[in-house]
Structure 1
Amino acid sequence: MALGFRQHDPERDGTLEVEEYHPNFVGVYFVPPKGSLLAAGLDPTQAKSYRTKLLDIHGQYKFLTIHPISTFGGKSDFLKPKYGQIERITLDGTDIIFRGGDDGGVPTTPEGVLELLEELPSAFTKDYAYGLGLAKSYRFIIDAVESLSDSTEIAITDDHATGPDPDGNRIFYISRRDFEQARRCINSIDSLAQSAARSVKETATYNILAERLGVPTLDPKAGRHPYRKLFTAVAQGKEELSEEDQNAVIGALSNHAASIAEVQPEKLVKLRGDIELVTLEALTKRYEEMLGEKLVEGRWQVFFNENPFILNMAFGYPVIKVRDQASVGGRKLSGNGEKITDFLVKNSLTNNTAIFEIKTPQTAILNKTPFRDGVFTPSADLSGSINQALDQKYQFQKQIAQIKDNTRLYDIESYAVHCCLVIGKTPDGDDQNKSFELFRRNSKDVEIVTFDELLEKLKQLSVFLRVGDEPAKSQESKGNANG
């Protein structure tokens, strides 16, 4: 009999190992492929030592427990739980273990396990190479349980009402009926979003041609369902989305990105460009608003941690973040050394490291009174911050060998550690600007960038992307006219 599941390549997907705990009770383990281990910086010759549990299958008590893990070696959570809080999903009282079992019992071979996985409900990932668990479309169920409880396990069962375990165990029960209702609801919303998108596309296309011919335009069919009306309004750009609605729309798009890329790749590229531009403009607006507030250093550190690409703009070469709040004076970057830098980054091409120290826009750069006529000296805050960065550089260079060995992070180098200080705002007044520029251009070991300079760079990048998009739009319009 031909098997219905996808044929797996051990070199690409890894392998399964089945361990029999006792008769009719087995554990299933994932042995990662060499490519994933290499991507994670692990020894590929020791693949079996990194095996990680995927399933527990108990025939006598009729339960199957999934251990959702991340199976992609390039991610930081490789071989760790896929979700933030939920570590296990149990299907209780199911009979699929017998349909996929060997000789009527639980499966004891990888082939039997693969047959069993094909019998999982449609809401579940069935390919072990993707870590099992709920399919992406239904991640909202996980999110809901994590928001409503501190449970680490979800049990889908007919034996308990939906809710946390009354005995205090960290189990969240979902009745099979409620689970199915949530699954159907998610599917229905996806369908409504697609229908709304088709309606708006159809009407928008018609209206472009109708305007050229002087024919009255049409409004898209919004439908009667409130979600359909919402999606239609949003697709027309007539209504702002709440954060929850944004997540729903993004989820629907993510679920169908592969099919869109296959059928209309140019539209997906265009959409990606639009999203990046809108995201950049929203980020710029948020940054500008933050400049108007008196925020502590910690808030700015969080902001740059969430948007590390802004740090790229402080240098003339590509950088990637190694770690925030890095202990440059200890034995490990994650330790409690005496010297902590706000960000440790590295050149993505040469691996040469750089240190970022973040102050606030309100930090004074120059002293208020001139040292001589037309000459202003750097403030104590600026001088102190420069010395702080230089000391961090000194400590880091002194400890680099031990840090690399203890952290097992060997792709960082200290050839010429660059320091960058983000501090204050550009001074007002010609004499102040002259004094500031004379000082910082002679500060060869510490790059000094002001907060408003970073804002200006964000704005210039936004203008560049928008202007760069105009020729493409113009060419598209010509193409449509010629077609």
Structure 2
Amino acid sequence: MRTTGRGAIQGFFVPKDTPGPGTDAADRLAAGVKLFEASPARGQLTIYPTDTRSWSDDFLAPKYAKITTIIIPAEVEPDWDVADGLEELPAGFTKDYEYGLGLAQECEVIIDLIEDSTDCAVIEFVPSGDAAVVGATFRISFARFDSLRADLARIKNRGDLGIRRVKETHVHNDLAEVLGLERRTLSLGRLPTSKWMTRVAAGDVPLNEEEQDALMAATTASAAQIASKLPAKMARLQRDIEVVNLEQLIVSYAKALDDGHNEDWWQDFFEENVFALQLLFGGPTVFVDAQVPIGEGDNSIKGKKIADYLLKNAMTNNASLVEIKKPSTKLMKKRAYREGVYGVQSEIGEAVTQVLDQALQLTRHEADTKARIGDSSWVSNAPRCFVVAGRLSELDTDDKKKSFDLYREHVSGVRLVTYDEILEQLKTLRDFLAAEAST
């Protein structure tokens, strides 16, 4: 360990077993094997992934073929402690320098893809924003990385379970006659991905596209009969399909968050994927219309308030209005208003006022609005209001998170929800259904 003139803390690796003289490893050690640099001035931890396996031909050389540097935002104090600092690394990182700092083994497929597809030498983690290649640097947000990491962990678990089922069934059937046992049929599991992996592990070729179409047609044609005779199996099939659909929605949603789409794109997305929008309400909700002109008078849009979405409670028919902004919309101001207190960005305050005004106009001109959209099934007894904007991952300090919660929990009549909170709700529901299906 040493501290530079600018206060940066540098850590160097000294192996327990000194490499033999004249070897490449000995030369690398003599030159100094820097593992990390923690900089209070820049507020970041820079990791230099190194092969620390003493038996490796690349001992003390860079751990990866192209990626030599990983940059992570970090709060670094002058008395920064190595053990504590490394322990605070996000999930998906190797935290013990004895095993070579960098990404955990299950995440190295990300490294492989970046190295195979780019000439990047640096991976930079950022609090929020789109994934991008900038010169020789690959930038990725913590949210995008964590989503990938969680997906890889689930894939690995399902693959491990599938392989174990194949092994157990193979051993059982091979020794069944000797042990006086009945032969066992291979269990494919209940999740569609688990079934596919189990079949591959067993040497079975998955269905081709034509076979898949035939299977879908047969299932659709016999759905009522199956539900009548085998209700439990139909329920399991339905859960499996729901999990698959949720998986696809989560993947599309997570990718879209980092793709920098404009407001119009997100309006179309939520209209096509109403289910994601319905998670806001915590109750049975029905989509009524999008881009709703609210106000008095004829069908002309002039002078009307345009609501992004109008929904209603499925039981009481009470109306709800949703106003959306972009995921990139900033939530809190960069500078503190007072010590530990941050104000909301003006666009957030304006969106809150906008949806409240829409609700007021909806109540005053309910009949005209109903006539305009051709749907009179809803009522505006007490319209609920929602604003979807920004990302919580933007809030990089506890004071900003506190200020945000203080604001949104005390804004009367409007619920402010971020895009990444909707994503987490989708993941939570997916995990619940997957666990239910697996049992």
Using structure 2 for the length normalisation, give the TM-score. 0.51
CA change 1:320–1:335 in 2 (3 A) is farther
Could you tell me which residue of structure 1 aligns to residue 421 of structure 2?
A: 453
- 1:250 and 2:210 matched: no
Cα offset for 1:467? Answer: 2.2
2:39 counterpart residue number: none
Q: Residues 234, 391 of structure 1: CA spacing in aligned structure 2 closer, same or farther, 3 A cutoff?
A: same
In structure 2, the partner of 1:282 is: 248
CA shift for structure 1 position 241? 7.9
The equivalences for 1:101-120 within 5 A come to: none
- Checking the alignment, whether the CA contact within 8 Å between 1:330 and 1:339 is kept in structure 2 is no
Residue ranges of structure 1 left out of the alignment (5+ in a row): 1-204, 221-231, 474-483
Deviations 1:385-411 (A, max 9, x none): 112212211221121022335655332
What's 1:440 paired with? 408
The equivalent residue for 2:355 is 389
Rounded Cα–Cα distance in structure 1 between residues aligned with 2:331 and 2:246:
28
Question: How far does residue 271 in structure 1 lie from its aligned partner after superposition?
Answer: 1.0
Matches within 5 A, 1:372-387: 372-387=338-353
Shift of 1:333: 8.4
Q: Are the structure 2 counterparts of residues 233 and 407 from structure 1 closer, same or farther at C-alpha, using a change threshold of 3 Å?
A: closer
Equivalent residues of 2:332, 2:343 under 8 A apart: yes
Tell me the equivalent position of 1:316.
282
1:236-280 deviation per Cα after TM superposition (whole angstroms, max 9, x unaligned): 467788989866653343223234334433322211110111111
Is contact 1:424–1:450 with CA below 8 Å preserved after alignment?
yes
Which residue in 1 is equivalent to 2:261? 295
Instruction: Identify if the C-alpha distance between structure 1 residues 274 and 387 changes in structure 2 by more than 3 Å, giving closer, same or farther.
Output: same
2:324 and 2:302 map into 1 onto residues whose CA distance is 19
Aligned to 1:415: 381
Q: CA–CA distance in 1 between the matches of 2:401 and 2:208?
A: 43
CA contact (8 A) 1:330 1:338 kept: yes
Q: CA deviation at 1:317?
A: 2.0
Partners of 1:309 and 1:333 in 2: CA distance: 29
Look up the match of 1:463: 431
**TM-superposed deviation, 1:212:** 3.3
Structure 1 residues 461 and 336, CA gap change in structure 2 (3 angstroms) = farther
Residue 212 (str. 1) matches residue 172 (str. 2) = yes
CA 1:442–1:304 in 2, change beyond 3 Å: closer, same or farther? Answer: same
2:417 counterpart letter in structure 1: V
Aligned counterparts of 1:244 and 1:394: Cα–Cα separation in 2: 54
Q: In 2 relative to 1, CA 342–218 (structure 1 residues): closer, same or farther, beyond 3 Å? A: same
- Once the two structures are superposed, what CA deviation does each residue of 1:278-323 show, in whole Å capped at 9, x if it has no partner? 1112211221111111011112112211221222221222211111
Deviates more, 1:259-268 or 1:300-309: 259-268
Matches of 1:210 and 1:420, distance apart in 2: 55
Contact 1:321 1:344 in 2 (8 A): yes
Sequence identity, in percent? 35
Task: Give the counterpart letter for 1:212 in structure 2.
Answer: H
1:106-164 CA distance string (max 9 Å, x none): xxxxxxxxxxxxxxxxxxxxxxxxxxxxxxxxxxxxxxxxxxxxxxxxxxxxxxxxxxx
1:323 and 1:345 in contact (8 A); partners too: yes
Against the structure 1 CA distance between its residues 243 and 359, is the aligned structure 2 distance closer, same or farther, given a 3 Å change threshold? farther
Q: State the alpha-carbon separation in 2 of the partners of residues 445 and 384 from structure 1.
A: 14
> How many residue pairs end up in the alignment?
256
Q: Which secondary structure state, in structure 2, belongs to the residue aligned with residue 214 of structure 1? A: helix
**Whole-Å Cα distance in 1 between the matches of residues 299 and 213 of structure 2?**
34
SS of residue in 2 equivalent to 1:443: coil
What is the correspondence of 1:27-66 to structure 2 with a 5 Å cutoff? Answer: none
Q: What is the CA deviation profile of residues 340-366 of structure 1, one whole-angstrom value per residue up to 9, with x for unaligned ones?
A: 111100111111101001111100111
Structure 2 residue runs without a partner (length 5+): 1-164, 177-182, 187-194
Q: Which amino acid aligns with 2:351?
A: S
Higher relative contact order (CA 8 A, sep 6+): 2
On the 8 A contact 1:234/1:240 being kept in 2, the answer is: no
